[in-house]
Structure 1
Protein backbone atom coordinates (compact mmCIF):
# COMPACT_ATOMS: atom_id res chain seq x y z
CA UNK A 1 0.00 0.00 0.00
CA UNK A 2 1.40 3.41 -0.94
CA UNK A 3 1.88 6.18 1.58
CA UNK A 4 -0.84 8.83 1.73
CA UNK A 5 -0.27 12.38 0.51
CA UNK A 6 -0.41 14.49 3.67
CA UNK A 7 -0.81 18.23 4.15
CA UNK A 8 -0.78 20.77 6.92
CA UNK A 9 -2.86 23.89 6.23
CA UNK A 10 -1.93 27.26 7.71
CA UNK A 11 -2.26 30.97 7.10
CA UNK A 12 1.43 31.31 8.05
CA UNK A 13 3.68 31.22 4.95
CA UNK A 14 6.90 30.99 6.97
CA UNK A 15 6.86 27.61 8.73
CA UNK A 16 10.19 25.84 8.18
CA UNK A 17 9.77 23.13 10.85
CA UNK A 18 6.74 21.71 12.64
CA UNK A 19 7.26 20.82 16.28
CA UNK A 20 4.90 18.50 18.16
CA UNK A 21 2.57 20.41 20.47
CA UNK A 22 -0.72 19.92 22.24
CA UNK A 23 -3.42 21.56 20.15
CA UNK A 24 -5.77 23.59 22.38
CA UNK A 25 -8.81 22.07 20.67
CA UNK A 26 -7.57 18.47 20.54
CA UNK A 27 -9.64 15.75 22.14
CA UNK A 28 -6.55 13.58 22.69
CA UNK A 29 -3.66 13.92 25.09
CA UNK A 30 -0.15 14.23 23.78
CA UNK A 31 1.97 16.47 21.65
CA UNK A 32 1.68 15.96 17.91
CA UNK A 33 2.26 17.44 14.51
CA UNK A 34 -1.08 17.17 12.71
CA UNK A 35 -1.64 16.48 9.02
CA UNK A 36 -4.62 15.75 6.80
CA UNK A 37 -4.87 13.45 3.81
CA UNK A 38 -5.52 14.54 0.25
CA UNK A 39 -9.18 13.52 0.28
CA UNK A 40 -10.00 15.65 3.34
CA UNK A 41 -7.75 18.68 2.80
CA UNK A 42 -10.58 20.73 1.20
CA UNK A 43 -12.05 21.07 4.70
CA UNK A 44 -9.05 23.33 5.41
CA UNK A 45 -9.46 25.70 2.45
CA UNK A 46 -10.68 28.36 4.90
CA UNK A 47 -9.26 31.09 7.12
CA UNK A 48 -7.92 29.42 10.26
CA UNK A 49 -10.66 30.42 12.71
CA UNK A 50 -13.57 30.22 10.26
CA UNK A 51 -16.33 27.99 11.65
CA UNK A 52 -17.53 25.47 9.11
CA UNK A 53 -19.76 22.48 8.73
CA UNK A 54 -18.41 19.96 6.24
CA UNK A 55 -20.39 16.90 5.24
CA UNK A 56 -20.42 14.34 2.49
CA UNK A 57 -22.02 11.18 1.20
CA UNK A 58 -20.32 8.07 2.57
CA UNK A 59 -20.75 4.34 2.06
CA UNK A 60 -23.39 4.12 4.81
CA UNK A 61 -25.41 7.19 3.82
CA UNK A 62 -29.12 6.44 3.48
CA UNK A 63 -31.07 6.99 0.27
CA UNK A 64 -33.08 9.71 2.03
CA UNK A 65 -29.93 11.61 2.99
CA UNK A 66 -28.49 11.21 -0.51
CA UNK A 67 -31.71 12.73 -1.86
CA UNK A 68 -31.44 15.58 0.69
CA UNK A 69 -27.97 16.38 -0.74
CA UNK A 70 -29.76 17.26 -3.99
CA UNK A 71 -27.22 15.77 -6.38
CA UNK A 72 -23.99 16.89 -4.70
CA UNK A 73 -21.67 14.59 -2.77
CA UNK A 74 -19.78 17.07 -0.57
CA UNK A 75 -20.82 20.38 1.06
CA UNK A 76 -18.90 23.00 3.03
CA UNK A 77 -21.00 25.60 4.85
CA UNK A 78 -19.93 28.86 6.50
CA UNK A 79 -21.78 31.82 7.94
CA UNK A 80 -22.26 35.10 6.07
CA UNK A 81 -20.24 36.83 8.82
CA UNK A 82 -17.17 35.03 7.41
CA UNK A 83 -17.83 35.57 3.70
CA UNK A 84 -15.49 38.54 3.14
CA UNK A 85 -12.66 36.93 5.11
CA UNK A 86 -13.16 33.67 3.19
CA UNK A 87 -13.02 35.45 -0.18
CA UNK A 88 -9.83 37.31 0.79
CA UNK A 89 -8.05 34.33 2.36
CA UNK A 90 -4.75 32.92 1.18
CA UNK A 91 -3.92 29.49 2.59
CA UNK A 92 -0.56 27.72 2.70
CA UNK A 93 -0.60 23.97 2.26
CA UNK A 94 2.57 22.31 3.49
CA UNK A 95 3.32 18.92 1.92
CA UNK A 96 4.40 16.62 4.73
CA UNK A 97 6.65 13.55 4.51
CA UNK A 98 4.35 10.64 5.38
CA UNK A 99 7.01 8.44 7.00
CA UNK A 100 6.64 9.48 10.65
CA UNK A 101 2.85 9.94 10.57
CA UNK A 102 0.27 7.45 11.77
CA UNK A 103 -3.44 7.44 11.07
CA UNK A 104 -5.44 9.12 13.83
CA UNK A 105 -8.93 9.20 12.27
CA UNK A 106 -9.82 7.56 8.96
CA UNK A 107 -13.23 9.29 8.89
CA UNK A 108 -11.69 12.77 9.06
CA UNK A 109 -8.38 11.95 7.35
CA UNK A 110 -6.25 13.05 10.32
CA UNK A 111 -2.69 11.83 10.79
CA UNK A 112 -0.30 12.59 13.65
CA UNK A 113 3.44 12.48 14.18
CA UNK A 114 5.23 12.61 17.51
CA UNK A 115 8.41 13.80 15.78
CA UNK A 116 9.57 17.18 14.53
CA UNK A 117 8.70 17.39 10.83
CA UNK A 118 10.27 19.41 8.02
CA UNK A 119 7.78 19.99 5.18
CA UNK A 120 8.72 18.89 1.68
CA UNK A 121 7.07 21.85 -0.06
CA UNK A 122 4.65 24.74 0.40
CA UNK A 123 1.77 25.51 -1.95
CA UNK A 124 -0.11 28.81 -1.58
CA UNK A 125 -3.74 28.84 -2.64
CA UNK A 126 -6.24 31.65 -2.98
CA UNK A 127 -9.56 32.20 -4.77
CA UNK A 128 -11.12 29.61 -2.50
CA UNK A 129 -14.53 30.00 -4.15
CA UNK A 130 -13.08 28.88 -7.48
CA UNK A 131 -11.11 26.10 -5.80
CA UNK A 132 -14.32 24.73 -4.26
CA UNK A 133 -16.14 24.93 -7.60
CA UNK A 134 -13.34 23.21 -9.52
CA UNK A 135 -13.26 20.44 -6.91
CA UNK A 136 -17.03 19.99 -7.11
CA UNK A 137 -17.48 20.86 -3.44
CA UNK A 138 -20.68 22.84 -2.92
CA UNK A 139 -20.11 25.96 -0.85
CA UNK A 140 -23.12 27.08 1.18
CA UNK A 141 -23.30 30.43 2.93
CA UNK A 142 -25.86 30.55 5.74
CA UNK A 143 -26.92 33.04 8.40
CA UNK A 144 -26.35 30.52 11.17
CA UNK A 145 -24.61 27.13 11.10
CA UNK A 146 -26.45 25.45 13.98
CA UNK A 147 -29.75 24.48 12.32
CA UNK A 148 -27.83 22.93 9.42
CA UNK A 149 -25.34 21.26 11.76
CA UNK A 150 -28.09 19.73 13.89
CA UNK A 151 -29.64 18.28 10.72
CA UNK A 152 -26.30 16.89 9.54
CA UNK A 153 -25.27 15.21 12.82
CA UNK A 154 -28.70 13.55 13.04
CA UNK A 155 -28.27 12.13 9.52
CA UNK A 156 -26.30 9.22 8.08
CA UNK A 157 -23.94 11.60 6.25
CA UNK A 158 -20.27 11.69 7.16
CA UNK A 159 -19.23 15.04 8.63
CA UNK A 160 -16.63 17.18 10.31
CA UNK A 161 -17.32 20.40 12.20
CA UNK A 162 -14.31 22.68 12.42
CA UNK A 163 -13.97 25.73 14.68
CA UNK A 164 -17.69 25.58 15.49
CA UNK A 165 -17.01 27.39 18.78
CA UNK A 166 -16.50 30.49 16.59
CA UNK A 167 -19.96 30.26 15.01
CA UNK A 168 -22.60 32.73 16.08
CA UNK A 169 -24.73 31.38 18.94
CA UNK A 170 -27.98 29.79 17.79
CA UNK A 171 -31.13 31.90 17.70
CA UNK A 172 -33.08 28.89 18.98
CA UNK A 173 -31.79 26.12 21.27
CA UNK A 174 -29.44 23.71 19.55
CA UNK A 175 -28.49 20.33 20.95
CA UNK A 176 -25.12 20.46 19.15
CA UNK A 177 -24.29 23.94 20.47
CA UNK A 178 -25.02 22.76 24.02
CA UNK A 179 -22.27 20.14 23.69
CA UNK A 180 -19.49 22.64 22.92
CA UNK A 181 -16.84 23.02 25.63
CA UNK A 182 -17.03 26.40 27.34
Structure 2
Protein backbone atom coordinates (compact mmCIF):
# COMPACT_ATOMS: atom_id res chain seq x y z
CA UNK A 1 0.00 0.00 0.00
CA UNK A 2 1.43 3.36 -1.03
CA UNK A 3 1.55 6.10 1.57
CA UNK A 4 -0.02 9.45 0.61
CA UNK A 5 2.22 12.52 0.53
CA UNK A 6 1.66 14.94 3.39
CA UNK A 7 2.41 18.58 4.01
CA UNK A 8 2.73 20.50 7.23
CA UNK A 9 -0.21 22.83 7.84
CA UNK A 10 -0.34 25.60 10.45
CA UNK A 11 -3.43 25.25 12.65
CA UNK A 12 -2.77 27.82 15.36
CA UNK A 13 -0.43 29.98 17.37
CA UNK A 14 -0.19 29.88 21.15
CA UNK A 15 -1.03 33.17 22.83
CA UNK A 16 -1.14 34.05 26.51
CA UNK A 17 -1.60 31.66 29.40
CA UNK A 18 -5.16 31.39 30.72
CA UNK A 19 -5.49 30.61 34.41
CA UNK A 20 -3.18 28.50 36.56
CA UNK A 21 -3.78 24.96 35.22
CA UNK A 22 -1.71 25.26 32.03
CA UNK A 23 -4.45 26.42 29.67
CA UNK A 24 -3.50 28.71 26.78
CA UNK A 25 -5.34 30.93 24.35
CA UNK A 26 -4.83 29.65 20.79
CA UNK A 27 -5.06 32.00 17.81
CA UNK A 28 -6.86 29.71 15.37
CA UNK A 29 -5.35 29.32 11.88
CA UNK A 30 -7.56 26.53 10.59
CA UNK A 31 -11.04 26.14 9.21
CA UNK A 32 -11.45 23.04 11.38
CA UNK A 33 -10.74 24.16 14.97
CA UNK A 34 -13.11 21.64 16.54
CA UNK A 35 -11.31 18.78 14.78
CA UNK A 36 -7.75 20.07 15.16
CA UNK A 37 -8.21 21.02 18.84
CA UNK A 38 -10.72 18.36 19.93
CA UNK A 39 -9.93 16.21 22.95
CA UNK A 40 -7.27 13.67 22.00
CA UNK A 41 -6.07 15.56 18.90
CA UNK A 42 -2.32 15.89 18.49
CA UNK A 43 -0.43 18.92 17.19
CA UNK A 44 3.29 19.67 16.89
CA UNK A 45 5.30 22.77 17.62
CA UNK A 46 6.61 24.02 14.27
CA UNK A 47 10.30 23.35 13.73
CA UNK A 48 10.45 20.68 16.45
CA UNK A 49 9.34 17.12 16.99
CA UNK A 50 7.54 18.07 20.21
CA UNK A 51 3.96 16.83 20.13
CA UNK A 52 1.13 18.15 22.27
CA UNK A 53 -2.09 16.26 22.94
CA UNK A 54 -5.29 18.21 23.59
CA UNK A 55 -6.68 17.42 27.05
CA UNK A 56 -9.58 19.86 26.83
CA UNK A 57 -10.70 22.84 24.79
CA UNK A 58 -13.50 25.36 24.88
CA UNK A 59 -14.58 28.62 23.29
CA UNK A 60 -14.78 31.73 25.46
CA UNK A 61 -15.70 35.09 23.92
CA UNK A 62 -14.44 34.17 20.43
CA UNK A 63 -11.16 32.79 21.86
CA UNK A 64 -10.17 29.15 21.90
CA UNK A 65 -8.85 28.01 25.27
CA UNK A 66 -6.82 24.78 25.08
CA UNK A 67 -5.12 22.58 27.67
CA UNK A 68 -2.47 20.05 26.61
CA UNK A 69 -1.70 16.91 28.60
CA UNK A 70 2.03 17.77 28.50
CA UNK A 71 1.52 21.19 30.15
CA UNK A 72 0.69 21.04 33.85
CA UNK A 73 0.78 24.66 35.03
CA UNK A 74 0.94 28.34 34.12
CA UNK A 75 4.76 28.27 33.83
CA UNK A 76 4.53 25.54 31.19
CA UNK A 77 1.82 27.50 29.40
CA UNK A 78 3.97 30.65 29.39
CA UNK A 79 6.84 28.67 27.83
CA UNK A 80 4.58 27.80 24.88
CA UNK A 81 3.66 31.43 24.16
CA UNK A 82 4.37 32.30 20.54
CA UNK A 83 4.70 28.67 19.43
CA UNK A 84 3.22 27.90 16.02
CA UNK A 85 1.15 24.70 16.04
CA UNK A 86 1.16 22.41 13.00
CA UNK A 87 -0.28 19.09 11.81
CA UNK A 88 0.47 16.87 8.83
CA UNK A 89 -2.29 16.71 6.24
CA UNK A 90 -2.68 14.91 2.93
CA UNK A 91 -1.05 17.16 0.33
CA UNK A 92 -3.77 17.01 -2.31
CA UNK A 93 -6.74 17.02 0.07
CA UNK A 94 -9.35 19.66 -0.81
CA UNK A 95 -12.59 20.82 0.81
CA UNK A 96 -15.82 19.28 -0.47
CA UNK A 97 -17.22 22.66 -1.56
CA UNK A 98 -15.42 24.05 -4.65
CA UNK A 99 -15.89 27.60 -3.31
CA UNK A 100 -13.99 26.82 -0.10
CA UNK A 101 -10.24 26.71 0.37
CA UNK A 102 -7.87 25.51 3.06
CA UNK A 103 -5.66 28.23 4.51
CA UNK A 104 -2.59 26.33 3.31
CA UNK A 105 -3.88 26.54 -0.28
CA UNK A 106 -4.15 30.33 -0.08
CA UNK A 107 -0.87 31.17 1.67
CA UNK A 108 1.78 32.07 -0.88
CA UNK A 109 -0.59 32.75 -3.76
CA UNK A 110 0.28 35.74 -5.93
CA UNK A 111 -2.19 38.62 -5.68
CA UNK A 112 -3.08 40.34 -8.95
CA UNK A 113 -5.46 43.16 -9.69
CA UNK A 114 -8.23 42.95 -12.27
CA UNK A 115 -5.81 44.07 -15.01
CA UNK A 116 -3.54 41.12 -14.18
CA UNK A 117 -0.80 43.24 -12.57
CA UNK A 118 1.05 41.60 -9.68
CA UNK A 119 0.29 43.45 -6.43
CA UNK A 120 1.69 41.17 -3.72
CA UNK A 121 1.18 37.78 -2.10
CA UNK A 122 -1.09 36.15 0.45
CA UNK A 123 0.80 35.77 3.73
CA UNK A 124 -1.95 34.49 6.01
CA UNK A 125 -5.66 33.99 6.53
CA UNK A 126 -7.34 35.38 9.63
CA UNK A 127 -10.59 33.84 10.83
CA UNK A 128 -12.55 36.76 12.21
CA UNK A 129 -16.07 36.61 13.69
CA UNK A 130 -17.71 38.29 10.67
CA UNK A 131 -15.65 36.74 7.85
CA UNK A 132 -12.23 35.48 6.92
CA UNK A 133 -9.59 38.08 6.02
CA UNK A 134 -6.58 37.69 3.73
CA UNK A 135 -3.31 39.18 4.97
CA UNK A 136 -1.61 40.44 1.81
CA UNK A 137 2.01 41.55 1.64
CA UNK A 138 2.42 44.49 -0.75
CA UNK A 139 6.06 45.62 -0.91
CA UNK A 140 6.68 44.67 2.73
CA UNK A 141 3.48 46.23 4.06
CA UNK A 142 0.55 44.15 5.24
CA UNK A 143 -2.95 44.88 3.95
CA UNK A 144 -6.07 43.17 5.27
CA UNK A 145 -8.65 42.25 2.64
CA UNK A 146 -11.99 40.67 3.59
CA UNK A 147 -12.19 37.32 1.82
CA UNK A 148 -15.55 37.94 0.14
CA UNK A 149 -16.41 37.47 -3.54
CA UNK A 150 -16.99 41.20 -4.09
CA UNK A 151 -13.35 41.94 -3.20
CA UNK A 152 -11.72 38.61 -4.15
CA UNK A 153 -13.71 37.45 -7.17
CA UNK A 154 -11.26 34.79 -8.37
CA UNK A 155 -9.10 32.17 -6.66
CA UNK A 156 -7.16 30.15 -9.23
CA UNK A 157 -5.10 27.52 -7.41
CA UNK A 158 -3.85 25.97 -10.65
CA UNK A 159 -2.49 29.33 -11.84
CA UNK A 160 -1.24 30.18 -8.33
CA UNK A 161 -3.03 33.50 -7.92
CA UNK A 162 -6.00 35.36 -6.53
CA UNK A 163 -7.61 38.40 -8.12
CA UNK A 164 -8.36 41.33 -5.82
CA UNK A 165 -10.77 44.02 -6.96
CA UNK A 166 -9.19 47.41 -7.63
CA UNK A 167 -10.70 49.44 -4.81
CA UNK A 168 -8.84 52.64 -3.82
CA UNK A 169 -7.01 52.10 -0.53
CA UNK A 170 -7.43 48.33 -0.46
CA UNK A 171 -3.90 47.42 -1.57
CA UNK A 172 -2.26 50.83 -1.39
CA UNK A 173 -2.02 53.36 1.41
CA UNK A 174 -1.76 56.43 -0.78
CA UNK A 175 -4.90 55.97 -2.86
CA UNK A 176 -7.23 58.91 -3.10
CA UNK A 177 -10.83 58.34 -2.15
CA UNK A 178 -13.04 57.47 -5.10
CA UNK A 179 -15.37 60.34 -5.89
Greater strand fraction, Structure 1 or Structure 2: 2
Instruction: State the TM-score, normalizing by the size of structure 1.
Output: 0.27
Larger Rg: 2
Instruction: State the TM-score, normalizing by the size of structure 2.
Output: 0.28
Greater helix fraction, Structure 1 or Structure 2: 1
Structure with larger RCO (C-alpha < 8 A, sep 6+): 1
